[in-house]
Amino acid sequence: MGDTKANLTIDGTSREYSVLDGTIGPSVVDISSLYKDTGMFTFDPGFTSTASCESKITYIDGDEGTLLYRGYPIEQLADHGDFLESCYLLLYGELPTRPQKEDFVNRVTKHTMIHEQMSRFFTGFRRDAHPMAVMVGVVGALSAFYHDSTDIADPHQRMVASIRMIAKMPTIAAMAYKYHIGQPFVYPKNDLDYSANFLHMCFAVPCEEYKVNPVLARAMDRIFILHADHEQNASTSTVRLAGSSGANPFACIAAGIACLWGPAHGGANEAALNMLTEIGSVDRIPEFIARAKDKNDPFRLMGFGHRVYKNYDPRARIMQKTTHEVLAELGIKDDPLLDVAMELERIALSDEYFVSKKLYPNIDFYSGITLRALGFPPHMFTVLFALARTVGWIAQWKEMVEDPGQRIGRPRQLYTGAPKRDYVPVEQRR
Protein backbone atom coordinates (compact mmCIF):
# COMPACT_ATOMS: atom_id res chain seq x y z
CA MET A 1 0.00 0.00 0.00
CA GLY A 2 1.40 3.45 -0.91
CA ASP A 3 1.20 6.58 1.24
CA THR A 4 -1.13 8.38 -1.13
CA LYS A 5 -4.55 9.23 0.26
CA ALA A 6 -7.70 10.35 -1.48
CA ASN A 7 -9.90 12.92 0.23
CA LEU A 8 -13.62 12.96 -0.26
CA THR A 9 -15.57 15.96 0.96
CA ILE A 10 -19.33 15.67 1.31
CA ASP A 11 -21.29 18.62 2.73
CA GLY A 12 -18.11 20.11 4.16
CA THR A 13 -16.98 16.93 5.97
CA SER A 14 -13.77 15.40 4.63
CA ARG A 15 -12.79 11.79 4.88
CA GLU A 16 -9.58 10.15 3.86
CA TYR A 17 -9.37 6.94 1.85
CA SER A 18 -6.29 4.83 1.15
CA VAL A 19 -4.93 4.51 -2.35
CA LEU A 20 -3.77 0.95 -3.07
CA ASP A 21 -1.05 0.34 -5.65
CA GLY A 22 -0.80 -2.73 -7.86
CA THR A 23 2.47 -3.99 -9.34
CA ILE A 24 1.58 -2.24 -12.61
CA GLY A 25 -1.50 -0.43 -13.83
CA PRO A 26 -3.81 2.13 -12.25
CA SER A 27 -3.95 2.42 -8.47
CA VAL A 28 -7.34 2.15 -6.76
CA VAL A 29 -9.09 4.17 -4.08
CA ASP A 30 -10.24 1.82 -1.33
CA ILE A 31 -13.80 2.96 -0.69
CA SER A 32 -14.95 -0.25 1.03
CA SER A 33 -15.84 1.70 4.21
CA LEU A 34 -17.62 4.51 2.33
CA TYR A 35 -21.15 3.32 3.11
CA LYS A 36 -20.34 2.84 6.79
CA ASP A 37 -18.67 6.28 6.90
CA THR A 38 -21.22 8.27 4.88
CA GLY A 39 -24.36 6.21 4.19
CA MET A 40 -23.64 6.67 0.48
CA PHE A 41 -22.75 4.28 -2.34
CA THR A 42 -20.60 4.92 -5.39
CA PHE A 43 -22.39 4.91 -8.75
CA ASP A 44 -20.63 3.29 -11.70
CA PRO A 45 -23.00 1.45 -14.07
CA GLY A 46 -20.99 -0.67 -16.51
CA PHE A 47 -18.12 -0.65 -13.97
CA THR A 48 -15.96 1.66 -16.07
CA SER A 49 -14.11 2.96 -12.99
CA THR A 50 -14.50 0.02 -10.65
CA ALA A 51 -11.93 -2.63 -9.73
CA SER A 52 -14.15 -5.45 -8.49
CA CYS A 53 -11.37 -7.56 -6.99
CA GLU A 54 -7.64 -7.96 -6.44
CA SER A 55 -6.07 -10.46 -8.86
CA LYS A 56 -2.63 -11.79 -9.79
CA ILE A 57 -3.63 -13.58 -12.98
CA THR A 58 -3.96 -11.33 -16.03
CA TYR A 59 -2.97 -7.76 -16.79
CA ILE A 60 -4.18 -5.56 -19.64
CA ASP A 61 -2.88 -2.12 -20.56
CA GLY A 62 -5.58 -0.96 -22.92
CA ASP A 63 -3.76 2.21 -24.01
CA GLU A 64 -0.54 0.39 -24.85
CA GLY A 65 -2.29 -2.70 -26.24
CA THR A 66 -0.56 -5.05 -23.78
CA LEU A 67 -1.86 -8.38 -22.46
CA LEU A 68 0.09 -10.40 -19.88
CA TYR A 69 -0.77 -13.80 -18.39
CA ARG A 70 0.98 -13.98 -14.99
CA GLY A 71 3.41 -11.36 -16.33
CA TYR A 72 4.23 -13.09 -19.63
CA PRO A 73 3.31 -11.18 -22.84
CA ILE A 74 0.65 -12.94 -24.91
CA GLU A 75 2.85 -12.69 -28.02
CA GLN A 76 5.60 -14.79 -26.36
CA LEU A 77 3.17 -17.40 -25.07
CA ALA A 78 1.45 -17.65 -28.47
CA ASP A 79 4.76 -17.91 -30.35
CA HIS A 80 6.68 -20.25 -28.06
CA GLY A 81 4.22 -21.95 -25.71
CA ASP A 82 1.22 -24.21 -26.02
CA PHE A 83 -2.28 -24.05 -24.62
CA LEU A 84 -1.91 -26.56 -21.79
CA GLU A 85 1.23 -24.78 -20.63
CA SER A 86 -0.78 -21.53 -20.57
CA CYS A 87 -3.49 -23.34 -18.59
CA TYR A 88 -0.92 -24.42 -16.01
CA LEU A 89 0.48 -20.89 -15.87
CA LEU A 90 -2.94 -19.32 -15.36
CA LEU A 91 -3.96 -21.86 -12.72
CA TYR A 92 -0.75 -22.10 -10.70
CA GLY A 93 1.07 -18.82 -11.39
CA GLU A 94 4.30 -20.17 -12.96
CA LEU A 95 5.27 -21.89 -16.19
CA PRO A 96 5.62 -25.61 -15.46
CA THR A 97 8.96 -27.41 -15.34
CA ARG A 98 9.19 -30.38 -17.70
CA PRO A 99 8.02 -32.95 -15.07
CA GLN A 100 5.24 -30.61 -13.94
CA LYS A 101 4.12 -30.17 -17.52
CA GLU A 102 4.14 -33.91 -18.20
CA ASP A 103 2.13 -34.55 -15.06
CA PHE A 104 -0.39 -31.82 -15.88
CA VAL A 105 -0.84 -32.94 -19.50
CA ASN A 106 -1.26 -36.50 -18.26
CA ARG A 107 -3.91 -35.48 -15.73
CA VAL A 108 -5.88 -33.43 -18.27
CA THR A 109 -5.62 -36.19 -20.86
CA LYS A 110 -6.97 -38.79 -18.42
CA HIS A 111 -10.14 -36.76 -17.89
CA THR A 112 -11.19 -36.15 -21.50
CA MET A 113 -14.09 -38.63 -21.59
CA ILE A 114 -17.45 -37.62 -20.22
CA HIS A 115 -19.85 -39.83 -18.29
CA GLU A 116 -21.58 -41.97 -20.91
CA GLN A 117 -24.97 -40.99 -19.53
CA MET A 118 -24.20 -37.42 -20.57
CA SER A 119 -24.31 -38.33 -24.25
CA ARG A 120 -28.02 -39.15 -23.75
CA PHE A 121 -28.42 -35.66 -22.39
CA PHE A 122 -27.57 -34.18 -25.82
CA THR A 123 -30.39 -36.02 -27.53
CA GLY A 124 -32.92 -34.07 -25.47
CA PHE A 125 -32.07 -30.97 -27.51
CA ARG A 126 -33.43 -30.09 -30.93
CA ARG A 127 -30.81 -30.64 -33.63
CA ASP A 128 -31.21 -27.05 -34.76
CA ALA A 129 -30.51 -25.61 -31.30
CA HIS A 130 -27.67 -23.09 -31.21
CA PRO A 131 -24.61 -24.98 -29.90
CA MET A 132 -24.16 -22.29 -27.22
CA ALA A 133 -27.63 -23.14 -25.88
CA VAL A 134 -26.53 -26.76 -25.69
CA MET A 135 -23.27 -25.75 -23.97
CA VAL A 136 -25.06 -23.76 -21.25
CA GLY A 137 -27.28 -26.76 -20.52
CA VAL A 138 -24.70 -29.53 -20.72
CA VAL A 139 -21.96 -27.74 -18.79
CA GLY A 140 -24.49 -26.81 -16.08
CA ALA A 141 -25.43 -30.49 -15.96
CA LEU A 142 -21.83 -31.51 -15.16
CA SER A 143 -22.56 -30.83 -11.51
CA ALA A 144 -25.23 -33.55 -11.70
CA PHE A 145 -22.60 -36.05 -12.94
CA TYR A 146 -19.49 -35.22 -10.91
CA HIS A 147 -20.73 -34.92 -7.32
CA ASP A 148 -17.29 -35.89 -6.05
CA SER A 149 -15.78 -32.56 -7.14
CA THR A 150 -18.39 -30.03 -6.08
CA ASP A 151 -17.26 -29.41 -2.49
CA ILE A 152 -15.53 -26.09 -2.95
CA ALA A 153 -14.10 -26.15 0.59
CA ASP A 154 -11.94 -29.18 -0.30
CA PRO A 155 -8.72 -28.19 -2.18
CA HIS A 156 -8.46 -31.65 -3.78
CA GLN A 157 -12.01 -31.46 -5.13
CA ARG A 158 -11.34 -27.93 -6.42
CA MET A 159 -8.29 -29.24 -8.28
CA VAL A 160 -10.19 -32.21 -9.72
CA ALA A 161 -13.04 -29.95 -10.85
CA SER A 162 -10.54 -27.60 -12.55
CA ILE A 163 -8.83 -30.42 -14.44
CA ARG A 164 -12.19 -31.93 -15.38
CA MET A 165 -13.46 -28.65 -16.79
CA ILE A 166 -10.34 -28.08 -18.94
CA ALA A 167 -10.30 -31.72 -20.10
CA LYS A 168 -14.01 -32.20 -20.82
CA MET A 169 -14.80 -28.90 -22.47
CA PRO A 170 -13.35 -29.92 -25.90
CA THR A 171 -15.29 -33.19 -25.72
CA ILE A 172 -18.55 -31.40 -24.91
CA ALA A 173 -17.94 -28.70 -27.54
CA ALA A 174 -17.20 -31.31 -30.21
CA MET A 175 -20.33 -33.25 -29.21
CA ALA A 176 -22.44 -30.09 -29.47
CA TYR A 177 -21.06 -29.66 -32.99
CA LYS A 178 -21.57 -33.29 -34.04
CA TYR A 179 -25.10 -33.30 -32.66
CA HIS A 180 -25.89 -30.08 -34.53
CA ILE A 181 -24.76 -31.50 -37.89
CA GLY A 182 -26.25 -34.94 -37.31
CA GLN A 183 -23.02 -36.95 -37.19
CA PRO A 184 -22.08 -39.57 -34.59
CA PHE A 185 -20.06 -38.47 -31.58
CA VAL A 186 -16.31 -39.14 -31.83
CA TYR A 187 -14.60 -40.21 -28.59
CA PRO A 188 -11.38 -38.48 -27.46
CA LYS A 189 -8.09 -39.99 -28.60
CA ASN A 190 -5.55 -39.67 -25.85
CA ASP A 191 -2.51 -40.12 -28.09
CA LEU A 192 -3.29 -36.76 -29.70
CA ASP A 193 -2.43 -33.47 -28.05
CA TYR A 194 -5.17 -31.21 -26.71
CA SER A 195 -5.92 -29.21 -29.86
CA ALA A 196 -5.33 -32.04 -32.33
CA ASN A 197 -7.69 -34.19 -30.28
CA PHE A 198 -10.32 -31.46 -30.45
CA LEU A 199 -10.05 -31.17 -34.25
CA HIS A 200 -10.25 -34.96 -34.47
CA MET A 201 -13.41 -35.10 -32.35
CA CYS A 202 -14.98 -32.39 -34.53
CA PHE A 203 -13.99 -33.55 -38.01
CA ALA A 204 -13.37 -37.31 -37.91
CA VAL A 205 -16.14 -39.68 -38.95
CA PRO A 206 -16.25 -43.42 -38.21
CA CYS A 207 -16.26 -44.42 -41.89
CA GLU A 208 -12.85 -43.07 -42.87
CA GLU A 209 -9.51 -42.14 -41.38
CA TYR A 210 -8.94 -38.51 -40.45
CA LYS A 211 -5.40 -37.27 -40.12
CA VAL A 212 -5.01 -34.06 -38.17
CA ASN A 213 -3.00 -31.42 -40.04
CA PRO A 214 -0.31 -30.27 -37.54
CA VAL A 215 -0.27 -26.69 -38.93
CA LEU A 216 -4.01 -26.39 -38.35
CA ALA A 217 -3.75 -28.01 -34.91
CA ARG A 218 -1.06 -25.48 -33.99
CA ALA A 219 -3.32 -22.65 -35.23
CA MET A 220 -6.19 -24.02 -33.12
CA ASP A 221 -3.88 -24.19 -30.12
CA ARG A 222 -2.79 -20.58 -30.64
CA ILE A 223 -6.42 -19.47 -30.89
CA PHE A 224 -7.06 -21.19 -27.54
CA ILE A 225 -4.04 -19.42 -25.98
CA LEU A 226 -5.28 -16.03 -27.21
CA HIS A 227 -8.71 -16.56 -25.65
CA ALA A 228 -7.60 -18.19 -22.39
CA ASP A 229 -8.11 -15.23 -20.04
CA HIS A 230 -8.84 -11.52 -20.14
CA GLU A 231 -9.06 -10.34 -16.52
CA GLN A 232 -12.43 -9.12 -15.19
CA ASN A 233 -14.48 -9.10 -18.41
CA ALA A 234 -18.26 -9.64 -18.30
CA SER A 235 -18.25 -13.46 -18.34
CA THR A 236 -15.37 -13.74 -15.85
CA SER A 237 -17.10 -11.30 -13.51
CA THR A 238 -20.24 -13.42 -13.92
CA VAL A 239 -18.30 -16.54 -12.92
CA ARG A 240 -16.83 -14.74 -9.90
CA LEU A 241 -20.21 -13.38 -8.82
CA ALA A 242 -21.89 -16.78 -9.21
CA GLY A 243 -19.00 -18.41 -7.34
CA SER A 244 -19.06 -15.83 -4.55
CA SER A 245 -22.25 -17.41 -3.22
CA GLY A 246 -20.48 -20.77 -2.87
CA ALA A 247 -22.03 -22.28 -6.01
CA ASN A 248 -20.14 -25.27 -7.44
CA PRO A 249 -17.61 -24.60 -10.24
CA PHE A 250 -19.58 -26.38 -12.98
CA ALA A 251 -22.62 -24.18 -12.31
CA CYS A 252 -20.38 -21.08 -12.25
CA ILE A 253 -18.80 -21.91 -15.61
CA ALA A 254 -22.27 -22.47 -17.10
CA ALA A 255 -23.14 -18.93 -15.91
CA GLY A 256 -19.98 -17.65 -17.63
CA ILE A 257 -20.95 -19.39 -20.88
CA ALA A 258 -24.39 -17.75 -20.76
CA CYS A 259 -22.80 -14.33 -20.40
CA LEU A 260 -20.21 -14.97 -23.10
CA TRP A 261 -22.92 -15.77 -25.63
CA GLY A 262 -23.98 -12.13 -26.08
CA PRO A 263 -22.95 -10.32 -29.31
CA ALA A 264 -21.21 -7.56 -27.34
CA HIS A 265 -18.88 -10.19 -25.85
CA GLY A 266 -18.05 -13.67 -27.16
CA GLY A 267 -20.81 -13.67 -29.75
CA ALA A 268 -18.94 -10.94 -31.65
CA ASN A 269 -16.81 -13.37 -33.67
CA GLU A 270 -19.92 -14.94 -35.17
CA ALA A 271 -21.44 -11.49 -35.67
CA ALA A 272 -18.21 -10.20 -37.28
CA LEU A 273 -18.13 -13.00 -39.84
CA ASN A 274 -21.84 -12.54 -40.58
CA MET A 275 -21.16 -8.84 -41.09
CA LEU A 276 -18.24 -9.50 -43.48
CA THR A 277 -20.47 -11.90 -45.40
CA GLU A 278 -23.24 -9.30 -45.54
CA ILE A 279 -20.81 -6.63 -46.80
CA GLY A 280 -19.68 -9.20 -49.37
CA SER A 281 -17.45 -7.01 -51.54
CA VAL A 282 -14.96 -4.19 -51.06
CA ASP A 283 -17.09 -1.66 -52.97
CA ARG A 284 -19.89 -1.92 -50.36
CA ILE A 285 -17.60 -1.01 -47.42
CA PRO A 286 -18.30 2.79 -47.51
CA GLU A 287 -22.02 2.09 -47.10
CA PHE A 288 -21.38 0.05 -43.94
CA ILE A 289 -18.85 2.54 -42.56
CA ALA A 290 -21.50 5.25 -43.00
CA ARG A 291 -24.07 3.11 -41.18
CA ALA A 292 -21.65 2.47 -38.29
CA LYS A 293 -21.18 6.22 -37.89
CA ASP A 294 -24.89 7.04 -38.09
CA LYS A 295 -26.28 7.69 -34.59
CA ASN A 296 -29.77 6.72 -35.77
CA ASP A 297 -28.65 3.34 -37.05
CA PRO A 298 -28.05 0.62 -34.42
CA PHE A 299 -25.49 -1.05 -36.74
CA ARG A 300 -21.96 -1.31 -35.34
CA LEU A 301 -18.84 -2.63 -37.00
CA MET A 302 -18.59 -5.98 -35.29
CA GLY A 303 -15.05 -6.89 -34.28
CA PHE A 304 -14.23 -3.21 -33.71
CA GLY A 305 -13.91 -1.40 -30.40
CA HIS A 306 -13.25 -2.69 -26.93
CA ARG A 307 -14.06 -1.52 -23.43
CA VAL A 308 -10.42 -1.72 -22.36
CA TYR A 309 -8.26 -1.61 -25.51
CA LYS A 310 -7.98 1.90 -26.86
CA ASN A 311 -5.20 0.66 -29.13
CA TYR A 312 -4.81 -2.35 -31.44
CA ASP A 313 -5.89 -5.48 -29.51
CA PRO A 314 -2.59 -7.45 -29.28
CA ARG A 315 -4.55 -10.66 -29.83
CA ALA A 316 -5.93 -9.30 -33.11
CA ARG A 317 -2.38 -8.95 -34.51
CA ILE A 318 -1.53 -12.56 -33.69
CA MET A 319 -4.91 -13.68 -35.00
CA GLN A 320 -4.33 -11.84 -38.28
CA LYS A 321 -0.99 -13.67 -38.68
CA THR A 322 -2.68 -16.99 -37.83
CA THR A 323 -5.39 -16.28 -40.44
CA HIS A 324 -2.76 -15.90 -43.16
CA GLU A 325 -0.94 -19.08 -42.01
CA VAL A 326 -4.14 -21.14 -42.05
CA LEU A 327 -5.24 -19.86 -45.46
CA ALA A 328 -1.76 -20.53 -46.89
CA GLU A 329 -1.71 -24.06 -45.47
CA LEU A 330 -5.11 -24.78 -46.96
CA GLY A 331 -4.06 -23.30 -50.29
CA ILE A 332 -6.79 -20.65 -50.16
CA LYS A 333 -5.25 -17.93 -52.33
CA ASP A 334 -8.23 -15.62 -52.55
CA ASP A 335 -10.73 -15.35 -49.76
CA PRO A 336 -13.16 -12.54 -50.60
CA LEU A 337 -14.01 -12.16 -46.90
CA LEU A 338 -10.34 -11.63 -46.04
CA ASP A 339 -10.15 -8.97 -48.77
CA VAL A 340 -13.22 -7.26 -47.29
CA ALA A 341 -11.77 -7.52 -43.76
CA MET A 342 -8.38 -6.05 -44.68
CA GLU A 343 -9.88 -3.19 -46.65
CA LEU A 344 -12.44 -2.50 -43.93
CA GLU A 345 -9.67 -2.38 -41.36
CA ARG A 346 -7.59 -0.04 -43.57
CA ILE A 347 -10.51 2.35 -44.13
CA ALA A 348 -11.69 2.32 -40.50
CA LEU A 349 -8.19 2.94 -39.14
CA SER A 350 -7.91 6.10 -41.22
CA ASP A 351 -11.46 7.33 -40.65
CA GLU A 352 -11.83 10.25 -38.24
CA TYR A 353 -14.82 8.66 -36.44
CA PHE A 354 -12.94 5.45 -35.59
CA VAL A 355 -9.61 7.22 -34.95
CA SER A 356 -11.12 9.79 -32.55
CA LYS A 357 -13.05 7.10 -30.63
CA LYS A 358 -9.97 4.83 -30.60
CA LEU A 359 -11.91 2.00 -32.20
CA TYR A 360 -9.45 -0.66 -33.35
CA PRO A 361 -10.01 -4.23 -34.54
CA ASN A 362 -10.41 -6.63 -31.63
CA ILE A 363 -9.63 -10.36 -31.58
CA ASP A 364 -13.01 -11.22 -33.05
CA PHE A 365 -12.39 -9.35 -36.26
CA TYR A 366 -10.07 -11.99 -37.74
CA SER A 367 -10.97 -15.04 -35.68
CA GLY A 368 -14.15 -15.78 -37.68
CA ILE A 369 -12.24 -15.98 -40.97
CA THR A 370 -9.68 -18.33 -39.41
CA LEU A 371 -12.26 -20.57 -37.74
CA ARG A 372 -14.31 -20.77 -40.91
CA ALA A 373 -11.19 -21.80 -42.86
CA LEU A 374 -10.53 -24.48 -40.21
CA GLY A 375 -13.95 -25.89 -41.06
CA PHE A 376 -16.18 -24.52 -38.28
CA PRO A 377 -19.58 -22.97 -39.04
CA PRO A 378 -20.28 -19.53 -37.46
CA HIS A 379 -22.58 -21.12 -34.84
CA MET A 380 -19.53 -22.82 -33.34
CA PHE A 381 -17.32 -19.75 -33.00
CA THR A 382 -18.52 -18.68 -29.56
CA VAL A 383 -18.39 -22.30 -28.39
CA LEU A 384 -14.66 -22.35 -29.22
CA PHE A 385 -14.22 -19.12 -27.30
CA ALA A 386 -15.99 -20.71 -24.29
CA LEU A 387 -13.79 -23.78 -24.54
CA ALA A 388 -10.61 -21.68 -24.40
CA ARG A 389 -11.88 -19.24 -21.76
CA THR A 390 -12.82 -22.05 -19.39
CA VAL A 391 -9.30 -22.10 -17.96
CA GLY A 392 -9.44 -18.35 -17.30
CA TRP A 393 -12.81 -18.69 -15.60
CA ILE A 394 -11.54 -21.59 -13.50
CA ALA A 395 -8.31 -19.79 -12.55
CA GLN A 396 -10.25 -16.67 -11.52
CA TRP A 397 -12.83 -18.73 -9.63
CA LYS A 398 -10.04 -20.63 -7.83
CA GLU A 399 -8.25 -17.40 -6.92
CA MET A 400 -11.47 -16.00 -5.48
CA VAL A 401 -12.42 -19.12 -3.52
CA GLU A 402 -8.89 -19.37 -2.07
CA ASP A 403 -8.89 -15.73 -0.93
CA PRO A 404 -9.47 -15.78 2.87
CA GLY A 405 -11.17 -12.36 2.68
CA GLN A 406 -13.68 -13.47 0.03
CA ARG A 407 -17.30 -12.45 0.62
CA ILE A 408 -20.46 -12.80 -1.43
CA GLY A 409 -20.58 -10.21 -4.22
CA ARG A 410 -23.54 -7.94 -3.56
CA PRO A 411 -23.64 -4.61 -5.43
CA ARG A 412 -26.14 -1.96 -4.39
CA GLN A 413 -28.13 0.52 -6.49
CA LEU A 414 -29.37 4.04 -6.92
CA TYR A 415 -33.11 3.51 -6.46
CA THR A 416 -35.23 5.75 -8.69
CA GLY A 417 -38.56 3.89 -8.47
CA ALA A 418 -41.72 4.85 -6.61
CA PRO A 419 -41.31 5.84 -2.94
CA LYS A 420 -43.23 3.87 -0.29
CA ARG A 421 -46.99 3.87 -0.95
CA ASP A 422 -50.05 1.96 0.27
CA TYR A 423 -51.76 -0.95 -1.46
CA VAL A 424 -54.91 0.04 -3.41
CA PRO A 425 -57.76 -2.54 -3.71
CA VAL A 426 -58.45 -3.40 -7.37
CA GLU A 427 -61.92 -1.79 -7.44
CA GLN A 428 -60.42 1.55 -6.35
CA ARG A 429 -57.60 1.60 -8.96
CA ARG A 430 -57.84 4.00 -11.88
Q: Does residue 317 bind ligand ACO (CB under 6 A)?
A: no
Pick between residue 249 and residue 303 the one whose CB is nearest to ligand ACO.
303
Cα–Cα distance for residue pair 112/366, rounded to 1 Å: 29
CB 161 within 8 A of CB 147: no
Positions 227 through 286 that interact with ligand ACO (CB under 6 A): 264-266, 268
Max CA distance (Å), the chain = 79
Pick between residue 189 and residue 293 the one whose CB is nearest to ligand ACO.
293
What residues have CB less than 8 Å from 303, skipping those under 6 apart? 268, 269, 271, 272, 275, 361, 362, 364, 365, 366, 368
Among 304, 360, 376, 381, binds ligand ACO (CB under 6 A): 304
CB 100 within 8 A of CB 79: no
Q: Look up residue 212 and give its DSSP letter.
A: P
Q: How far is the CB of 102 from ligand ACO (least distance, A)?
A: 32
Q: How far is the CB of 295 from ligand ACO (least distance, A)?
A: 7
Phi, psi of 266 (to 5 degrees): -70, -25
Count residues near ligand ACO (CB under 6 A).
18
Q: How far is the CB of 415 from ligand ACO (least distance, A)?
A: 24
CB 384 within 8 A of CB 288: no
Q: Does residue 110 bind ligand ACO (CB under 6 A)?
A: no
Q: Does residue 355 bind ligand ACO (CB under 6 A)?
A: no
Pick between residue 121 and residue 366 the one whose CB is nearest to ligand ACO.
366
Give me the amino acid identity at 23: T
Q: How far is the CB of 230 from ligand ACO (least distance, A)?
A: 7
Q: Does residue 363 bind ligand ACO (CB under 6 A)?
A: yes
Cα–Cα distance for residue pair 280/7, rounded to 1 Å: 55
Query: Closest CB to ligand ACO belongs to which residue?
Result: 305
Q: Does residue 364 bind ligand ACO (CB under 6 A)?
A: yes
Q: Does residue 40 bind ligand ACO (CB under 6 A)?
A: no
Among 65, 243, 305, 314, binds ligand ACO (CB under 6 A): 305
Q: How far is the CB of 4 from ligand ACO (least distance, A)?
A: 28
306 among known catalytic residues: yes
Alpha helices in 182-213 (DSSP H): 194-203
For the four alpha carbons of 410, 411, 417 and 422, in that order, the dihedral sign comes to: positive
115 among known catalytic residues: no
Instruction: Tell me if residue 105 falls in helix, strand or coil.
Output: helix
Q: How far is the CB of 137 from ligand ACO (least distance, A)?
A: 22
Which span sits near ligand ACO by CB under 6 A: 93-101, 113-121, 164-172, 362-370? 362-370
Q: Does residue 300 bind ligand ACO (CB under 6 A)?
A: yes
Residue (of 361, 365, 370, 132) closest to 268 by Cα position: 365
What residues have CB less than 8 Å from 31, skipping those under 6 apart? 17, 42
Which span sits near ligand ACO by CB under 6 A: 86-94, 251-259, 302-310, 386-394? 302-310
Pick between residue 67 and residue 204 the one whose CB is nearest to ligand ACO.
67
Among 141, 302, 326, 380, binds ligand ACO (CB under 6 A): 302
Instruction: Tell me if residue 16 falls in helix, strand or coil.
Output: strand
Catalytically annotated residue among 156, 364, 379, 403: 364
Q: How far is residue 400 CA from its own chain's centroid?
A: 17
CB 375 within 8 A of CB 200: no
What residues have CB less than 8 Å from 309, skipping those under 6 apart? 60, 62, 65, 360, 362
Which span sits near ligand ACO by CB under 6 A: 85-93, 101-109, 149-157, 356-364? 356-364
Pick between residue 131 and residue 303 the one whose CB is nearest to ligand ACO.
303
Q: How far is the CB of 347 from ligand ACO (least distance, A)?
A: 13
Catalytically annotated residue among 200, 229, 306, 313: 306
Q: How far is the CB of 298 from ligand ACO (least distance, A)?
A: 10
Q: 375 — alpha (psi -120 to 50), left (phi > 0) or beta?
A: left
Which residues of this protein are in contact with ligand ACO, per CB under 6 A? Answer: 264-266, 268, 292, 300-307, 357, 359, 362-364
Q: Which residues are catalytic?
A: 306, 364
